[in-house]
Amino acid sequence: MNCIAQNIMSKDERLSQILEMIERIAALDLDHKLPVSKNNDRLDAISLGLNMLSEELKDNTVEKEQLDKTNKKLEQFAYSTAHDLKSPLNSLSGLVYLLANTVSEENSDAQDIIVKIASTVDKMKNLVHGILEYSVVADPTELKSEVNLKEIVNEIIETDRYEDNITIRVDHFEKKIEFNRTILLRILRNLISNAVKYCDKPNCEIKIKVTEKENKAVISVIDNGPGIPFDEKDKIFELFHKYDPEGTHESQGIGLATVKNLLQSTGEDIWVESKEGKGSNFYFTIGVNDNIK
Amino acid sequence: MGEVSNKAITSEISPGIIDFRENSKIKFTLYEDGIFETECFPDTVMTYEDGLESTRITSEILGKIPKPLLCDLSNVISMSKECRKHFAGEDHAKTFTKCALIVTKPIGKMIGNFFLGLNKPLKPTRIFLDRKKAIEWLKESD
């Protein structure tokens, strides 16, 4: 728009243009530009400011799309690399077993080395398994079905064979929850196994509750473990980030990243509330209100 | 704006001024007290190329000795994001020790705030409404 046209425009017309621009920005239509006259008045400053915001937002949106694509490629690369490593690692594991049986038990030096090799191979296998778990996100085409939390938790307890000092209690929830059962099982298995692994009390108590908040079902996994410092609350969900101040736990830093990845791939979220020494409360959302009947 | 020519012209130097040049958009002045000032002509639209040319002319005047910059944004009516990025970056931080932006009109104020908030210049930078206070701040650590 030329300057003369801009100058004869009324204040109301200019305000209407500004409102329209804000609506366009809200709709992520970021190619529009407001005219800025040489009057250098406050409406010109607002118009220029909106133009600059729109431009910056467009750049950030494009940048984010590129980053998302790169991340996707990296995840695919990690998956295929982990997948390709799985088979040779299994072979190596078998060979170490054969070697252990071949070397005389009296040769303690050699046996020690074999034990160390076997332990290293196991760590590598766990890492590869973790990367594969992380990379396999939810299949959006998989249908949701009614899930029974108690039944899922019982399945985890039976499969993972927890010791007697571990109590897992699932609170009764009257309404019906619908979600992808496989994903929910993976999420709960990860959270429960973390609570068990890091528990520092003689009796490990885990409580699972469901509440409703803002049209979502919120499942919380509450433990009586050592808790998590405030500045670790977000970091613990990052891939390969390990929080283990004592350095006494075997961890790849993949479990919670996998849980977050699984939830985000279904449009859900996870967060933690915790006080050091007083346990942690992991919350995650599932479904919308339609799924709770 | 008329025809754009970035060729710098050296004008007659007044007392208190060590060097003075101008191109089609900006006047560049190096004062005896060590302050370097840039002031745009009315209704200036600053592009990335203008930013690069401005830094080139400045480097020519200052050599390799960084000086405090007094930058009057009053006459600027638009500055591209690439230009803002350049002024916030390493080359500019090597040329100037600190930067005082003078904003006396709404558009200049908006550009100044974007520059500080979004571009986060590497050199110490502050916005001033008052030229005298800006000069005082520029002289503070010199």
Contact B110 A45 (CB under 8 A): yes
A288 vs B89, residue with greater confidence: B89
Tens-digit pLDDT profile for residues A182-218: 889 989 999 999 999 999 899 999 999 999 888 788 9
The shortest C-alpha distance from A35 to chain B (Å) reads 11
Average pLDDT over residues A74-81: 85
- Look at residue B4 in the predicted model and tell me its pLDDT: 46
From A55's Cα to the closest Cα of chain B, the distance in A is: 8
Kindly give the pairing relationship between strand B44-46 and strand A166-170: unpaired
Residues of A with CB under 8 A from a CB of B: 36, 38, 40-42, 44-46, 48-49, 52, 55-56, 59
| Inter-chain residue contact A52 with B110, CB threshold 8 Å | yes
In this complex, do B106 and A38 lie within 8 Å of one another by their Cβ atoms?
Answer: no
Chain A residues whose CB is inside 8 A of the B110 CB are 45-46, 48-49, 52
Contacts 24+ apart (CB under 8 A), B1-4: B1/B25, B1/B43, B1/B44, B1/B45
Contacts with A55 from chain B: Cβ below 8 Å: 81
Instruction: Give yes or no for residue B2 having a pLDDT over 50.
Output: no
Q: Does B110 touch chain A (CB under 8 A)?
A: yes
The helix/strand/coil state of B25 is coil
Residues of B in contact with A49 (CB under 8 A): 110, 114
More confident residue, A71 or A41: A41
* Residue A169, pLDDT above cutoff 80: yes
φ, ψ for residue A234 (rounded to 5)?
-95, -35
Q: Write out chain B residues lying below 8 Å of A59, CB-based.
A: 81
Region A14-43: mean pLDDT is 92
Q: Please tell me the distance in Å from B98's CA to the nearest CA on chain A.
A: 25
Q: Do A183 and A266 form a contact (C-beta atoms < 8 A)?
A: yes
Per-residue pLDDT, A48: 95
pLDDT at B93 over 80: yes
Give me the CATH topology for the region A145-291: Heat Shock Protein 90 (3.30.565)
Which candidate from A38, A45, A52 shows the least CB-CB separation from B106? A45
Burial of residue B19, with CB atoms counted within 10 A of its CB: 0-12 exposed, 13-18 middle, 19 or more buried? middle
pLDDT at B39: 96
* B122 belongs to a structural domain: yes
pTM to 2 decimal places: 0.61
Classify residue B2: in a domain, yes or no: no
Percent of chain A with pLDDT over 70: 93
Tell me how far apart the alpha carbons of residues A153 and A251 are, in angstroms, rounded to a whole number. 22
pLDDT value, residue A180: 85
What pLDDT sits at residue A267?
86
Domain span at residue B112 reads 15-134
Q: Which of A258, A238, A203, A196 is nearest to A221 (CA)?
A: A196
Whole-angstrom Cα distance, residue A240 to residue B65?
46
In the predicted structure, residue A5 carries a pLDDT above the cut 70: no
Residue range A31-42: average pLDDT?
92
Q: Which residue has the tokens 């973390």?
A: A194
Q: What is the pLDDT of residue B6?
A: 53
Q: Which pLDDT score is estimated for A291? A: 44
Q: B101 in helix, strand or coil? A: strand
Which of A6, A40, A54, A57 would best serve as a mutation to test chain B binding (most B beta carbons within 10 A)? A40
**In this structure, is residue B22 part of a structural domain?**
yes
Average pLDDT over residues B112-128: 94
Q: Do A44 and B77 touch (CB under 8 A)?
A: yes
Q: Give the pair of three-digit tokens for residue A258.
A: 């996998």
In the prediction, which pLDDT does B9 show? 59
Reported as a single tens digit per residue, the pLDDT across B14-36 is: 778 999 999 999 999 999 999 99
Q: How many whole angstroms from its chain centre is CA B59? A: 12
In A, which residues are within 8 Å of B105 by CB distance? 40
The full set of domain ranges for chain A reads 3-64, 75-135, 145-291
What is the residue type of A45? A
- Average pLDDT value for residue range A58-78: 89
Compare B124 and A215 and report the one with higher pLDDT.
B124
pLDDT value of position A2: 42
- According to the model, what pLDDT value does residue A18 have? 95
Average pLDDT value for chain A: 87
Task: Classify A138 as helix, strand or coil.
Answer: coil
Q: pLDDT at position B7, please?
A: 56
Q: Determine whether the interchain pair B118/A40 forms a contact, defined as Cβ–Cβ distance below 8 Å.
A: no
Q: Which run of H or E residues covers position A126?
A: helix A108-135
Please check the confidence at residue B12 and state whether its pLDDT lies above 80. Answer: no
Cβ-contact A38, A66 below 8 angstroms: no
Residues of B within 8 A of A44 (CB-CB) are 77, 106-107
Report the CATH number that the domain containing residue B99 is assigned in CATH: 3.30.750.24
> A35 is written with which tokens?
């005219």
Give the one of A44, A55, A56 whose C-beta lies nearest to B107's C-beta: A44
> Residue A127 and residue A251: Cα distance in Å, rounded?
9
* Number of folded domains that form chain B: 1
pLDDT tier at B11, thresholds 50, 70, 90: low
Per-residue pLDDT band for B1 (boundaries 50, 70, 90) equals very low
pLDDT digits (tens, 9 = 90+) for A239-254: 888 888 777 787 788 8
Cα B110 from Cα A285, distance rounded (Å): 41
**Long-range contacts of A6-9, Cβ-Cβ distance < 8 Å, separation of 24 or more:** A6/A35, A6/A36, A6/A37, A6/A39, A7/A37, A7/A39
Give B79 to chain A, closest Cα distance, Å.
Answer: 9
Spatial strand order of the sheet with B17-22 comes to B9-10, B17-22, B26-31, B36-40, B67-72, B96-102, B125-128
Assign A144 a pLDDT band (cuts: 50, 70, 90).
Answer: confident
> Cβ B105–A55 below 8 Å, yes or no?
no
At A63, the pLDDT band (50, 70, 90 cuts) reads very high
Query: How does pLDDT run across B57-78, given as a tens digit for each residue?
Result: 999 999 989 999 999 999 999 9
Q: What percent of chain A has pLDDT over 90?
A: 51
Residue B10 has pLDDT above 60, yes or no: no
Q: Which candidate, A133, A136, A264, places its Cα nearest to that of A189? A: A133
Is a pLDDT exceeding 50 seen at residue A265?
Answer: yes
- A59 contacts B43? CB cut-off 8 A: no
For A221-237, the pLDDT digits (tens) are: 999 999 999 999 999 99
| Mean of pLDDT values over A39-63 | 94
Output the CA angle A182-A187-A190, nearest 5 degrees: 125
